[in-house]
């Protein structure tokens, strides 16, 4: 990729630079290089254990990095500059950078003791310092966008999985992130509820300036929604490209095998 | 006569007054135990070992030594270091500290039962550790452990007679004084036992109410 001292907008939104992650002797990510442009929608696919979820978890700072640097929005995320050198990020740097990133989890992870409105105003009030009124206005707007206007006072246990996941999306958006991470967000849902969540994500991509990374097994959705699909295999990107190309006409044997296995299962 | 009703009725108001001291020691001691126990539990979870290890050591030490010794230590030994505290205060401190270590184990179990996803969602939303504990973790950790904490409230209550060892005028000490004055121990000691029975039952009932309330509000 050509690097020029360009205006900020041409910088990638997310850049993985030789990022390595190990669990003991197991190498989960092996010197990964990956650039994601502003507003790009990237789908990450691959067999389990290929490191695809780790990519998201490291971006969210849920996992420590063992080698390399991750940059977000033109700044190092995992590190910070001190006296012209990159040193490991401290907590205050991490907190500032984390604000640029939002994440939606496979198992929703809603706060069960709060209503959907409560879930969506907690962090805006405590972290962004919004007043309750401002936070509630913002939360109402977002819950309406995900089609849950009538569920604002409901607790997670009173809602279906699809509804809970939509609350989780609204909750993450309430922090106004620049990058949204979706970690197998439909995998824990009953089949008939998958569509409503994907529809919300689709609209999000159309109506908002958001960089989106999603780990998914929904090949149909990836093909239609993503700008690029990355196929992970054993901690590396084995193949990547435009969805129609990669999913329709994969070049690598491993990609072909994986895709046919997924197709058979569905 | 084995049981003297007149004497029993005569000493009843005196014992009732003493029971206020017992209840005071119980409630204040338990508030201290509940707060300090939570502090111990949270500090013990700290990733900084210079925090978690000393706290763990303190908890184990206090839990493994008799309460009576701790009461004596606070009341008789601390003054040697220039810290002089009244008998009732010393007793409340000892009860609170001792039961804080038990409560901290209960809290720890409650905190460890919170799914990892709750911590991860809190981090992803950039909540500070303080807000994560205060708003997300603790409100979910407490309701399931209310019965266990309640048991310690009753246990602490039943150990307040130990305070008679440092002459706190609680129920037991008062009964002993009454007995030594009249040479009748049957009525005072029996009545003290009844007081404890009644209060224990009342406390158990109250805890069940709180439990029911909590499980209701959780939907």
> By the 8 A CB rule, do B150 and B203 touch?
yes
Three-state SS across A130-173?
CCHHHHHHHHHHHHHHCCCHHHCCCCHHHCCHHHHHHHHHHHHH
pLDDT > 90? residue B215: no
Looking at mean pLDDT, say which of A129-143, A240-254, B40-54 comes out highest. Answer: A129-143
Residue with the larger pLDDT of the pair A165 and A7:
A165
Q: State pLDDT tens for residues B133-154.
A: 999 999 999 999 999 999 999 9
List, in order of start, the domains of chain B with CATH numbers: 5-217 (1.10.3720.10)
- Alpha-carbon distances of A206 from A104, A187, A223, B122, rounded to whole Å: 18, 23, 15, 28
Task: Kindly state the average pLDDT of the residues A61-78.
Answer: 93
Whole-number pLDDT of residue A84: 86
> By the 8 A CB rule, do A223 and A244 touch?
yes
> By the 8 A CB rule, do B99 and B148 touch?
no
User: What are the backbone dihedrals phi and psi of residue A65, each rounded to the nearest 5 degrees, phi first?
Assistant: -100, 140
Residues of chain B contacting residue A62, judged by C-beta atoms under 8 Å apart? 120, 123-124
Q: State pLDDT tens for residues B185-204.
A: 999 999 999 999 999 999 98
Q: Residue A263 — pLDDT band, cuts 50, 70, 90?
A: confident
pLDDT > 60? residue B48: yes
How far is it, in rounded angstroms, from Cα A176 to Cα A211? Answer: 12
Residues of chain A contacting residue B123, judged by C-beta atoms under 8 Å apart? 60-62, 98
% residues pLDDT > 70 (chain A): 96
Domain residue spans in chain A? 111-176
Across the interface, whether the CB atoms of A62 and B135 are under 8 A apart is answered: no
Q: State pLDDT tens for residues B58-109.
A: 999 999 999 999 999 999 999 999 888 999 999 999 999 999 999 999 999 9
Whole-number pLDDT of residue B218: 55
Taking CB atoms within 8 Å and a gap of at least 24, the contacts of B138-145 are B138/B38, B138/B111, B139/A113, B140/A111, B140/A112, B140/A113, B140/B114, B141/B107, B141/B110, B141/B111, B141/B113, B141/B114, B142/B110, B142/B214, B143/B214, B143/B215, B143/B218, B144/B110, B144/B113, B145/B106, B145/B107, B145/B109, B145/B110
Q: Residue B211 — pLDDT band, cuts 50, 70, 90?
A: confident
The SS3 of residue A233 is strand
Across the interface, whether the CB atoms of B219 and A155 are under 8 A apart is answered: yes
Whole-number pLDDT of residue A6: 46
How far is it, in rounded angstroms, from Cα B145 to Cα B137? Answer: 13
Q: How many CB pairs under 8 A join A and B?
A: 62
Across the interface, whether the CB atoms of A110 and B121 are under 8 A apart is answered: yes
Mark which residues 109-128 of A lie under 8 Å from B by CB. 109-113, 122-123, 126-127
Whole-number pLDDT of residue B216: 67
Q: Is A55 exposed, middle or buried (0-12, 13-18, 19+ CB in 10 A)?
A: buried
Task: Kindly state the average pLDDT of the residues A69-84.
Answer: 92
Across the interface, whether the CB atoms of A123 and B125 are under 8 A apart is answered: yes
% residues pLDDT > 70 (chain B): 98
Would you list the DSSP string of B113-171?
Answer: TS-HHHHHHHHHTT--HHHIIIIIIHHHHHHHHHHHHHHHHHHHHHHGGGGGGGT--SH
Q: Sheet containing A67-72: which strands, arranged edge to edge?
A: A26-36, A14-23, A67-72, A75-76
- List residues bridging with A32 in a β-sheet: A19
Closest CA to B10 of B187, B143, B190: B187
> By the 8 A CB rule, do A249 and A259 touch?
no
Output DSSP code: residue A182.
E
The token pair that represents B9 in the structure block: 């009725």
Contacts of B172 (CB under 8 A, 6+ apart): B160, B161, B163, B164, B192
pLDDT > 80? residue B119: yes
pLDDT > 70? residue A5: no
Q: State pLDDT tens for residues A178-220.
A: 999 999 999 999 999 999 999 999 999 998 899 999 999 999 9
Whole-number pLDDT of residue A265: 75
How far is it, in rounded angstroms, from Cα B175 to Cα B187? Answer: 9
Q: State pLDDT tens for residues A86-127.
A: 899 999 999 999 999 999 999 999 999 999 999 999 999 999
Q: Residue B12 — pLDDT band, cuts 50, 70, 90?
A: very high
Which ranges constitute the DSSP H helices of chain A?
52-59, 91-98, 116-126, 132-145, 161-173, 191-207, 219-225, 243-248, 253-265
- Alpha-carbon distances of A147 from A68, A120, A123, A152, rounded to whole Å: 41, 14, 21, 10
Residue with tokens 């004596």: B72
Task: Kindly state the average pLDDT of the residues B36-56.
Answer: 93
């Amino acid at each position: 990729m050509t690097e020029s001292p360009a205006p900020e907008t041409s910088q990638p939104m997310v850049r993985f630079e030789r990022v390595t992650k190990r669990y003991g002797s197991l190498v989960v990510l092996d010197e990964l290089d990956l650039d994601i442009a502003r507003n790009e929608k990237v789908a990450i696919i691959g067999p389990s254990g290929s490191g695809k979820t780790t990519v998201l978890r490291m971006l969210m700072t849920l996992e420590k990095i063992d080698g390399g640097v991750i940059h977000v929005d033109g700044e190092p995320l995992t590190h910070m500059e001190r006296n012209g050198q990159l040193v490991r990020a401290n907590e205050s740097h991490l907190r500032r950078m984390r604000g640029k990133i939002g994440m939606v989890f496979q198992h929703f992870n809603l706060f069960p003791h709060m209503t959907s409105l409560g879930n969506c105003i907690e962090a805006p009030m405590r972290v962004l310092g919004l007043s309750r009124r401002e936070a509630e206005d913002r939360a109402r707007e977002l819950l309406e966008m995900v089609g849950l206007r009538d569920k604002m006072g409901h607790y997670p246990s009173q809602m279906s999985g699809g509804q809970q996941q939509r609350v989780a999306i609204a909750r993450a958006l309430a922090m106004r992130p620049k990058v949204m991470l979706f970690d197998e967000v439909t995998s824990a849902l009953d089949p008939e509820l998958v569509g409503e969540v994907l529809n919300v994500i689709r609209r999000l991509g159309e109506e908002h300036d958001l960089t989106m990374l999603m780990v998914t097994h929904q090949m149909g959705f990836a093909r239609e929604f993503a700008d690029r699909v990355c196929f992970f295999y054993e901690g590396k990107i084995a193949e990547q490209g435009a969805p129609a190309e990669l999913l329709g006409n994969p070049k690598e044997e491993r990609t072909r095998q994986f895709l046919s296995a997924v197709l058979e299962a569905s | 006569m084995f049981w003297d009703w007149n004497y029993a009725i005569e000493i009843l108001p005196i014992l009732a007054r003493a029971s206020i001291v017992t209840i005071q020691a119980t409630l204040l001691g338990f508030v201290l135990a509940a707060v300090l126990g939570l502090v111990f539990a949270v500090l013990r979870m700290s990733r900084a070992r210079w925090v978690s290890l000393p706290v763990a050591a303190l908890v184990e030490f206090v839990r493994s030594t008799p309460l009576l010794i701790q009461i004596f230590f606070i009341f008789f030994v601390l003054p040697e270091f220039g810290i002089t505290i009244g008998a009732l205060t010393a007793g409340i401190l000892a009860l609170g500290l001792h039961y804080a270590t038990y409560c901290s184990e209960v809290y720890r179990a409650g905190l460890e039962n919170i799914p990892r996803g709750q911590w991860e969602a809190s981090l992803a939303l950039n909540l500070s550790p303080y807000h994560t504990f205060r708003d997300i973790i603790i409100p979910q950790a407490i309701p399931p452990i209310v019965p266990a904490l309640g048991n310690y409230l009753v246990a602490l209550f039943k150990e307040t007679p130990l305070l008679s060892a440092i002459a706190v005028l609680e129920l037991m000490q008062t009964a002993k004084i009454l007995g030594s004055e009249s040479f009748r121990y049957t009525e005072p000691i029996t009545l003290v036992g009844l007081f404890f029975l009644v209060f224990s039952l009342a406390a158990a009932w109250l805890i069940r109410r709180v439990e029911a309330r909590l499980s209701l509000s959780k939907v």
